[in-house]
Structure 1
Amino acid sequence: MERYVDVAPDVRLWAEDIAPTGPRPGEPLLLVMGAASSGLVWPDALVALLAERHRVIRYDHRDTGRSSAVFDEQPYGITDLASDAIAVLDAFEAPRAHVVGMSMGGLLVQLMLLDHPGRLASATLFCTGALPFPGAPDLPAPDPALLRMWGELDDPRDAEGELRWRVEHWRLLNGSGTSFDAAEFRALEERVVAHTGRHDPVVAHALMDTSGLERGAELASVTVPTLVIEAPEDPAYPPPHSGHLVRTLGHARMVRIPGMGHTINRTVISPLAAAILTQTTQTAAPA
């Protein structure tokens, strides 16, 4: 089921509610994607595996996919995007959910852990880093080639040029630990463009206010069961970012998916789903 969720005046988010396919589903599972990415970036094959055990909810952030493109008229900050995730749960009448966050989505889930711990049955974080805090150790920056590409984000491109740029961006994000199938990611981006109805790049998330993120010191108080999945070939959040996140949280556990980079390509879907479902089933509420 698809629907729109009102999260602020004149701001609506597209969301999709996927019914569980298994006989005894657990609590709902909310997927929170990274910056500038539609909820359709969560692969259908992954969603199908998760739906064997859960009702799955995915959605488009503001200025992505079919959600309202409002940044130019109504600038917002990253903390607003965290509040949007809670509003999606409210709209689907989900008092609690297992929440999975990738990349920027992992930062949003950390804010949810701090501000709305009662709404999270568990958290799974991957391809992300810890919320910053004064005195945090210096960690590796993203790969310089990625930084160069991010500097080209809003360069003028026609529709075909934009598709080629996005595929090359995914190639860099994928890293060298698993094979990269350009056709797989071109098909993904063609689907995203068709879903969105336009091909222009999403620049709003690169411009939004990031104040309110320096709360990493508070993460040690988190008691919600949390899993950190390390992607050892991630060029955006390379090791030891995941280890630092685990230590900052204090009570989290970590698993590693060998070869994984900053993409959910077909080779990592099965181990990623297995890790998420192990987390959600181990922390399931008693029947």
Structure 2
Amino acid sequence: MQQFIDAAPGIRLWTEQRGARDAAPLLLIMGARASGVAWPEPLVDALAAHHRVIRYDHRDTGRSTWPFEERPYRIPDLADDAIAVLDHLGIDRAHVVGMSLGGMLAQLLLADHPDRLLSATLISTSALSSTPYTRPDGSTVPVAELPGIAPEVLELWARPAGEHGPAAEAARQVEHWRVLAGDRLPFDTGFFRALEQRVIEHTGHHRTSTAHGRANHDGMLRTDRLARNAVPALVICAPADPVFPPPHPQHLAQCVRGASLVEIPGMGHALPPAVLDPLATAILRHTGAATG
């Protein structure tokens, strides 16, 4: 079922629900510049076999309001949008699964709204914490010295998008996914081409927004609150992630009190077919234990 909700004055968000209405709710939060339909259909279906799955378009993506050019907002406002989705749908508490920026938003929910979460799964993201990383040998690494984004990703992000038409834009996005996916699994060009075509059809145009990269990121650290976390949390380690490579996931698991860590072999900063089954298994094992 699809519907629009009013998240804030002048902000409407597209939402979709799938699965049994009486199942435990699970909210999917995608990454920066990504529509909710960027969650692969097989993964959504696998989760919806056990949960009432909700996904939605962030502001400036998909069918939701694109307001940034006239009314800039802060990244934490996107976390407020997630709460607004739950409120509008009458959901008191939900499992939350966030990827990349969505994983950061999920951390904000862990810190600021723990009473609204049944569990959190954090995928391909980094800690909103200033706590140093502790290596297995006991030595520590300041957060500023953790590995940065791979040069090939930065080079791709630095290229101007331009105006090339829908087909060329889809091809550009497929190349983007190729770089993000890492080099440990064969790249499925057809899968990501179909994904991008679905996003363009869903959105109604092929333009992409840079709003999330330009939005104010200040005030996002939640060091102390994450260290006191009491919500069941799972960190997904993507060993081939060129954006937040190891030991970012290990560091995140250290920063979020009580978090467990599961590695998905070969996974990068993308969701290709090869990782969907093990990822769904890890998420469902986690949510099943948390639901009890």
Name the TM-score class by shorter chain. over 0.9
Give 1:231 deviation, angstroms.
Answer: 0.5
Matching residue of 1:275: 282
For 1:171, the aligned partner's letter is: R
Matching residue of 1:207: 214
Q: Given the alignment, which residue of 44, 48, 53 partners 1:47?
A: 44
Deviates more, 1:96-105 or 1:147-156: 147-156
Number of equivalenced pairs: 282
Matching residue of 2:34: 37
Q: Given the alignment, which residue of 160, 163, 178 partners 2:167?
A: 160
For 2:162, the aligned partner's letter is: D
In 2: Cα distance, 1:214 partner to 1:157 partner: 38
Give the direction of change, closer, same or farther, for the CA distance of 1:98–1:13 in structure 2 (3 Å limit).
same
Q: Is the 8 A contact 2:19 2:49 kept in 1?
A: no
In 2: Cα distance, 1:154 partner to 1:131 partner: 29
Give 1:234 deviation, angstroms.
Answer: 0.5
How does the TM-score come out when normalised to structure 2?
Answer: 0.93
**Runs of 4+ with >4 A deviation:** none
Give the direction of change, closer, same or farther, for the CA distance of 1:150–1:132 in structure 2 (3 Å limit).
farther
Q: Is the 8 A contact 2:32 2:212 kept in 1?
A: yes
Give 1:153 deviation, angstroms.
Answer: 4.8
Alignment partner of 1:123 is 2:130? no
3-state DSSP of counterpart to 2:90: coil
Percent of residue pairs bearing the same amino acid type? 50
In 2: Cα distance, 1:26 partner to 1:16 partner: 15
In 2: Cα distance, 1:113 partner to 1:157 partner: 40
In 1: Cα distance, 2:245 partner to 2:113 partner: 28
3-state DSSP of counterpart to 1:118: helix
Give 1:176 deviation, angstroms.
Answer: 1.1
Alignment partner of 1:12 is 2:16? no
Matching residue of 2:233: 226
Q: Which runs of 5+ in 2 are unaligned?
A: 133-141
Q: Which runs of 5+ in 1 are unaligned?
A: none
3-state DSSP of counterpart to 1:283: helix
Give the direction of change, closer, same or farther, for the CA distance of 1:211–1:187 in structure 2 (3 Å limit).
same
Aligned CA RMSD, in angstroms, stands at: 1.4
In 2: Cα distance, 1:158 partner to 1:44 partner: 25
Give 1:62 deviation, angstroms.
Answer: 0.1
In 2: Cα distance, 1:2 partner to 1:63 partner: 18
Matching residue of 2:138: none
Q: Is the 8 A contact 2:19 2:50 kept in 1?
A: no
For 1:213, the aligned partner's letter is: M
Aligned ranges 1:221-260 → 2 under 5 Å? 221-260=228-267
Q: Is the 8 A contact 1:133 1:217 kept in 2?
A: no
For each residue in 1:139-185, what CA deviation from the matched residue of structure 2 results, as whole angstroms up to 9, or x when unmatched? 11111010011112533433222111100000001111111111110
How does the TM-score come out when normalised to structure 1?
Answer: 0.95
Q: Given the alignment, which residue of 63, 66, 76 partners 2:63?
A: 66
